[in-house]
Structures are given as C-alpha cells and as structure tokens.
Amino acid sequence: MSIFFHSTLKNSKRVFKHVKFKEKIQYNSKYFISSSIPSKELIANDSIINKKFVPFQKNINSRRTEAKRSILVQVQSAQSYKELYSYCSSFGNVTQMFHYTTGIEPMHFILVEFKNESDVVSTLSSSTFVEGNSTTPVNSQFLWFRSTSKKITKSKHKNAALVIEDGITPMTNDRIRETLQKCNNVTEQILTLYNNTKMTDLECRLRFLTARQMELSVYGMFPHARVLPFGSSVNGFGKMGCDLDVVLTLKDNKEDSSSRLVFHCKDSGVDRSSNLRNLEVFGDLLQLFLPGCARVRKILQARVPIIKYYHQFTDVECDLSMCNVSGVHMSDFLYIMGSIDSRVRPLVFAIRKWAQEVGLTNSSPGRWITNFSLTLLVLAFLQGPLHSPPILPSLNTLVKSAESKDSFITDEGVNCSFLRDIEKLHFSSVNIENLEVLLCEFFEYYSQFDFKSKSVCLNEGVPLTKLDHSALYIINPLERGLNVSKNVSLEELEKFKFAARNAAWILQSEESTNTSNWGLLSIFDKPNKKMAFSVSRNKNERLMQVKQLFEEEDNTDTGHSEVDNRRTQLEKNGNTNRIGKTNKMKNPNR
C-alpha cells in the first residue's frame, strides 16, 4: 500500500478532493481505485472516452521533466511525510509526494516532486554526506531522511489532500482471478484485467527517475548525454513490475556552425568494439558508484549488448544499451498503434496474460515466443483481412502521411520516418466489435495461419512470403531485414497454435465444466490434449477437424461465412454471458 500526497494548486483541474491535513488518511474511492474492482465509471472512462492524443516524444519529454523536478527519499515510515514535507518546503514548492515500500524487510520511500527544477538544485545543494563513512560520496537525487532532536515547525502549506494509491505492488494471480469472476461478461473481464495490471503513474515516475540517475552520473563529461527509456515502460503496453529498457546516447548530433570554439575530443570510432568498451565502463560505474544499483551483469556478446542491473530503491530491473536507438522509435510506433483504438491495449494485455498462464512465454530468453512478438501478432491481426475496413492502419500508411519533422534516421542508418501525430492521420475505422469477439477471432486467425510459407508484416498490413525457414517469421517493422521472432522453435510454434485452437474452442463453447472459471478465466488453464484438438500431426487422431470449426464456408442462402455467423452470434450473446453464468451456477450439472 502506498500514499499519495498532493498540494493544492490554484485553478487545479485534478479530480482529487482537496482537504486540510488530518491524522486520518482521506480516501476517495470514486476516482482512485487501488486493488479493488474498477468501477463502471473507470472502465467507461478508460476505454470509451477519446482523450486528446499526446505524441510519444512530447510524453517522454514531460516525464523527463517530472524526473528532473523530483527526488526520492528513504524514510522511517509512511508517517514521516509531514516532517519531510515541512523540511522540503523550505527549499521550494512541493507539489506531490508518493509513498511506497519495497524489499523483504520493507524499506519506505517517498517520491517528492517540486514545482521547479531549481527547487531540486536547492535541495541537493543543502544535502550532505556522512562524515567518516567508507562509502563513496555521490551526488544524486536518491537520499535518506534522518531523524532530529530539534522541534519540528509547522508547515506553512496547510491545504493538502492525502489519497490511498495501489503503488508498485502487482496484484497476485489469486486476486486477479477473484476480480475477474465478478465481472458480467468477457469484454468487462478484459477491461478489468487491463485496468488492474497496467503500469501505474507512480511506477512510470520511478522508471524515469532511475534513468535520470544514470544521466546525471555522466553529466560532467557528457552534458548532452540522454538516457531514454523505451519498450513496455513507455509504449503503453507495460504492466506493473515490467522491466525498464534504456538506451544511453552521449551526444545530440547538433552542431552550432556559428561557434568558432570547438571541443577537443578523442576519436573512439563507431564500430561495435568501441561500443562494447564504453558499455563495459558504464557497467563498472553502476557497480562501483551509483547508490541503489545492484546485481550488475554485463551481457556483451548478444546481438544488442546490454548491462543488466537491479535498482533496489525503485524496485526496477533495468537493461542498459548504447546502440539501440531504433528501439525508441519502435516504442513510438507501438505507442501510436495503441492510441489509435481504445480496444488495442486491453486486447494485448488479455492475450499476453493468456500466453503466460498456458506456458507459452517465459521470463528468461529462449526458444519460446516473447511478449513483444505477441504484441506484434495482435497488431497485425487488427490490420488483417478479417476486418473491413481494418481496425489499425499499416506502417506504410503512417510513412506516407509523414511530414518533414517526422524524418528520423539512426546512426546505424535505420530509417524511422513515420507520422508521429495520429490527429493528422487520414485513417478511420467503423469497426465496433467488442473485445470478446476480437479475442475469439484472434485465436481463430492464428490457429489456421499459414506459418509455413507466410510471414507477419505490419508494414503492408497483410502476410507476405517468408524469406527464410524460421518457424515463426515476424518482420521487424523498422528493420525489415530482421525477424523479431527468429528465436521461436517449431515446437513452440506448434504449442502456440494448439493453445490458440483450444482457447477458441473454449470461448465458443456454451458450457463450462467449472462454473467458477468462466470466460477469460476458462482459457487460462493449460491446454489438455484430450480436448477438442490433438497435438499429433495425424489428422485422424483429432476428435474434431480444424476446418469444421474455422474454415470459412460459403452459405448460398445468406452469402455469409461461418466466421461471420459466429461473430454475429457472439455479438448477440455479449450481454447475456452473465445470465448464462448464473444459470450454470444454479444448475451445475448442465
């Protein structure tokens, strides 16, 4: 459990109710949900109302500015917020404070955000080091608050609000299942799963503060250095507890031609070996000097060399690279695709949760499918032939709509030019299928996809002929010569197809053997070989042929396919699932 403290601002448009300090914590459950079931208002607001689109780079810059205005302070307990607020207010205007705990023996931390970056400078300049301590004195935004025997003066800022927030602790699987069982239909289950497991605002702030620490550590020699988060932490598909991927760039490639004074610099080259040497040095910097950084591991022989480390204060697993700027642009692309339609991110969350539950994904790298590959499969499906017009545009559509300011080419020569502001995108979809229908169609689509000869291509929005014999071929949207799923083995691909078939079968089946595991929960159990499909390649061993369920057949009377009929039936039953569930509970032998 964590505490969120917010100072009253003039003309504030925030939804929180501002009250004077009291000993008792104020909690407004209508607007802030912790680990309970999201209210109908929350679900509606998150999935239906189209908020004004904020471009990816603008969002990144805003978060970086927040990090520059913040410090992280270790405290004795949550009750230290009053003293800390009073003390920090003497250096500047404190706007927000977040409390959370981490570690086996819980360490308490409060994230303090000031109104101005200069307030942080004043606070740090007044901070000190412990005299005679054997530790290396490092100036950073990570501090601890020691007790004092002096009398505490009352804060001059009287108006404030204190609100309970869920913080950085993910929900347990049991709690997730319990929450999903209380939903009314599959669509509501998907939205509830998304709202209860997506990364919180506090987690996002802590990740940018973690990146800021590395940036400040090299600022003296590299004043233009930037540590940019990418991946799930910023692309809108991050769940609570996800890793932090960052790329360190030492220059901004901007030259002032009017200046006649030029810095002398050493020629370090641009080859792979120079990057490896630099990355190794920064790995030592993390290990030896930066507070909170632990378990530093150098993985330098990978295709993209990285330094892995764990930050004890922010409870974040980090991957630091120096030559993966295209990853930032890939995050921009995924951020855009997730923002075009409000159904995209909840659908991705549901499918990635399903893949985790049935054993398709793994936390360690290997021959299995990754969350990144799954996300691309979902996006390609939403571009695909099942939808007319498609729900999402192809990357080529974004490229054709790009303006001059959208042109980006990395140092490695990767062209990352595409439209960054979707409000200027000439694309619209009238598709109104609910999430239950889309989930079922996803499983149908990939259970019969021709993986032997076809590759998944988000650039064109349609499958293309494979360029090699990889089991699963997903074309990297930005580096088209690369296959992002080259690691996936044929065995794991067959496992994915088998699990997709069973998931489609279960979702379309009207009866469930376990009334407590209905809807989304029913597909979270690992596939049983005795169910509708067999793993064996011998079609005669199947209890039912795949084509009987998924192959489109012409209907001479209506002109519609079987897939269309099933889609229509699902749409009709979308609001009656809860009734069916209730009937099953009344009659378990049904």
**CATH number of domain containing 307:** 3.30.460.10
The reply to whether 32 and 113 lie within a common domain is yes
Shortest CA distance to 441 belongs to which of 533, 525, 522, 378? 378
**Is pLDDT above 50 for 227?**
yes
The reply to whether 30 and 153 lie within a common domain is yes
Asked if the structure places residue 348 within a domain, the reply is no
The reply to whether 162 and 25 lie within a common domain is yes
| 28 band by pLDDT with thresholds 50, 70 and 90 | very low
| 406 band by pLDDT with thresholds 50, 70 and 90 | very high
d(CA 489, CA 2): 42
Residue 254 has a pLDDT of 74
Asked if the structure places residue 172 within a domain, the reply is no
The number of residues in the chain equals: 590
The reply to whether 152 and 15 lie within a common domain is yes
State the DSSP H helix or E strand holding residue 100, giving kind and residue range, or none if neither: strand 94-102
Phi-psi sector, 281: left (phi>0), alpha (psi -120 to 50), beta: alpha
The reply to whether 151 and 17 lie within a common domain is yes
Q: What is the 3-state secondary structure (H, E, C) of 278-347?
A: HHHHHHHHHHHCCCCEEEEEEECCCCCCEEEEEECCCCEEEEEECCCCHHHHHHHHHHHHHHHCCCHHHH
Beta partners for 306? 299
| 137 band by pLDDT with thresholds 50, 70 and 90 | confident
Residue 22 has a pLDDT of 33
Asked if the structure places residue 342 within a domain, the reply is no
Query: Is the Cβ–Cβ distance between 109 and 75 less than 8 Å?
Result: yes
Domain that holds residue 43: 2-166
**Is pLDDT above 50 for 167?**
yes
- The dihedrals phi and psi of 161, each to the nearest 5 degrees, come to -125, 150
User: What average pLDDT score do residues 194-215 get?
Assistant: 95
| 541 band by pLDDT with thresholds 50, 70 and 90 | very low
The reply to whether 240 and 120 lie within a common domain is no
The reply to whether 134 and 216 lie within a common domain is no
CATH number, domain with residue 44: 3.30.70.330
Q: Look at strands 2-7 and 159-165 and give their pairing.
A: antiparallel
Asked if the structure places residue 65 within a domain, the reply is yes
Query: Is the Cβ–Cβ distance between 245 and 106 less than 8 Å?
Result: no
**Is pLDDT above 70 for 119?**
yes
Asked if the structure places residue 478 within a domain, the reply is no
Other C-beta atoms within 10 Å of 276: how many? 16
**Is pLDDT above 60 for 346?**
yes
Average pLDDT in the chain: 80
Which of 326, 358, 391 marks a domain boundary?
326
Q: At what angle do helices 490-508 and 435-447 cross, to 10 degrees?
A: 140
**Is pLDDT above 70 for 401?**
yes
**pTM of the predicted structure, to 2 decimals:** 0.82
Placement of tokens 């605002």 in the chain: 201
Query: Is the Cβ–Cβ distance between 60 and 234 less than 8 Å?
Result: yes
| 56 band by pLDDT with thresholds 50, 70 and 90 | very high
Q: What is the 3-state secondary structure (H, E, C) of 515-560?
A: CCCCHHHHHCCCCCCCCCCCCCCCHHHCCCCHHHHHCCCCCCCCCC
Say which range, 400-404, 427-431, 569-573, has the weakest mean pLDDT: 569-573
pLDDT tens, position by position, 291-316: 999 999 999 988 889 999 999 999 99
User: What average pLDDT score do residues 245-258 get?
Assistant: 84
Residue 335 has a pLDDT of 97
| 281 band by pLDDT with thresholds 50, 70 and 90 | very high
**Is pLDDT above 60 for 558?**
no
Query: Is the Cβ–Cβ distance between 240 and 200 less than 8 Å?
Result: yes
Asked if the structure places residue 230 within a domain, the reply is yes
Asked if the structure places residue 528 within a domain, the reply is no
Which of 166, 183, 218 marks a domain boundary?
166
| 439 band by pLDDT with thresholds 50, 70 and 90 | very high
The reply to whether 242 and 128 lie within a common domain is no
**Is pLDDT above 60 for 287?**
yes
**Is pLDDT above 70 for 550?**
no
The number of folded domains in the chain is: 2
- The dihedrals phi and psi of 74, each to the nearest 5 degrees, come to -80, 130
Which of 326, 341, 359 marks a domain boundary?
326
**Is pLDDT above 60 for 23?**
no
Higher pLDDT, 234 or 42: 234
Residue 36 has a pLDDT of 32
User: What average pLDDT score do residues 70-82 get?
Assistant: 91
C-beta contacts of 542-550 below 8 A and 24+ residues apart: 546/447, 546/448, 546/501, 549/444, 549/501, 549/504, 549/505, 549/508, 550/444, 550/447, 550/448, 550/504
Query: Is the Cβ–Cβ distance between 533 and 502 less than 8 Å?
Result: yes
The reply to whether 162 and 216 lie within a common domain is no
d(CA 394, CA 379): 9
**Is pLDDT above 60 for 471?**
yes
The reply to whether 10 and 134 lie within a common domain is yes
Asked if the structure places residue 553 within a domain, the reply is no
The reply to whether 130 and 9 lie within a common domain is yes
Which structure tokens are listed for 406?
């959208």
The reply to whether 90 and 220 lie within a common domain is no
